[in-house]
Structure 1
Amino acid sequence: MKELMRTGEIAARLGVSLPTVRRLLRAYDVPVFVLQQAWRVRKEDAERFIEAVLSNAPKSLG
């Protein structure tokens, strides 16, 4: 089995909440595995997802 990432790890990398990660995963059509009510994402998919979200994030005004 390929290496999986937890949504909590993804949330920490993006600096957002778990519900936000789940909404974004749905919006970006990222395949997820649900194991005992816990969402998991293949590491390679998670890395691409994180890059896509960060590249579309608004820039700071400061």
Structure 2
Amino acid sequence: MLVGHEPDLSQAAAQLSGGLGDIWLRKGGLIRLDLDSLASRRGILRWLLDPEHLQVRKSKE
């Protein structure tokens, strides 16, 4: 697990996913990259969630 601030976290995610493109994380967002090792820098982007996807919604009763 990595925790950080922008723009460093988005840049680290882009490099760890092979550096094939830009990844932009929004404030409060989450990303999942699967890596065999940090040295390989060939991770697989599994998902990227914006803060809207993470909001807890109250049920109507």
- TM-score band, normalised by shorter chain: 0.3 to 0.5
Greater relative contact order (CA < 8 Å, ≥ 6 in sequence) = 1
TM-score by length of 1: 0.33
Between structures 1 and 2, the one with greater helix share: 1
Which structure has the bigger radius of gyration? 2
